Chains A and B, each alone.
Chain A
Amino acid sequence: MSESKTIDARNTFCPGPLMELITYMKQANVGDTLELLSTDQGSAADVPEWVNKVGHEIVSNEKRGDVWYITVRKTK
């Protein structure tokens, strides 16, 4: 059964949101979704670029207040 998990990477400078996402993606199973919470401007662009390059799927990407909510599905 696929799972969904939230990664709270708000207000963190190191290791940072994309590094956190990569860590959790390695632990996840194909089909799982991960919701990344980030306050880092750079990762708003970085995360979709990485997800597309590796071939996973961006389910949603929106900014509410100062926080980006990026949901990613592991596809392989």
Chain B
Amino acid sequence: MTYSYYPGCSLHGSSREYDDSSRGVCAELGIELKELPDWICCGASSGHSLDEVLNIGLPARNLKIAEQAGLDVVVPCAACYNRLKTAEHAMREKESVRNQMRDLIDYDHKGRVQILNMIELIQDQISLDTLRSKLVKPLTGLRVVCYYGCLLVRPVEVTGFDHPEHPRSLDEIMSAIGAEALGWSYKTECCGGSHSLTRTDIVRVLVDGIVDMAKEAGAQAIVTACPLCLGNLEMRQSDGGFPVMYFTELLGVALGMNESRDWLKKHVIDPTPLLGSLGLLP
């Protein structure tokens, strides 16, 4: 199985552990990822806030590169995934947008490649049964809550992934690798997203709400698939010691990958004491 891979700027920066663990786990599961040549930033929330044309144009240019590469594209970052899906949706639904993009990037969008986030790649392309059969170290004793955030699941008509307010897919993956995925009502509460630098006060309030609820649910850690969410949850919580991890890191641990130790070392809040206390460190 071979896919194109769009890491996005965060995964080449402060979220390296998400990049490393996504690539590592895919390699372990027999999925080959080929990074898109000369990909550009998707524009994230600044694109759609300021620019009516470029907010579609920046992701559309990446889709052009992906269509030229001819493979379905895997996008681990929830924000990039959302922007690429938005561009795809807009070009599919509106001829005027399609024409505008043709003028902008000299390319006629064909809609030939699928855009996949990491959760759907693991769940649909690998299957939970295959995952179970490859378990080396089931995460027995680890109690987590799965935090999906906004961008993977909303708007429904754009991402079409899981459920906008009661998603289950990540919980199922966590259960499959032996962790206890607890029920809670904050799966898709907003963390404040891009306000982290400018309205830090707002992000703190939202993040504390999420972390408090995770504790109340009885969790020892939060698991996520979004670098924006993880950044906010780790850096802006008042507690300062409640671990937050990418699901791909825990997949690596469960698959017995020694590299997972390096990924887990890159956190502002060190999750290794928790994993160590449960005998789960490789």
Q: Is the A/B pair a real complex?
A: no
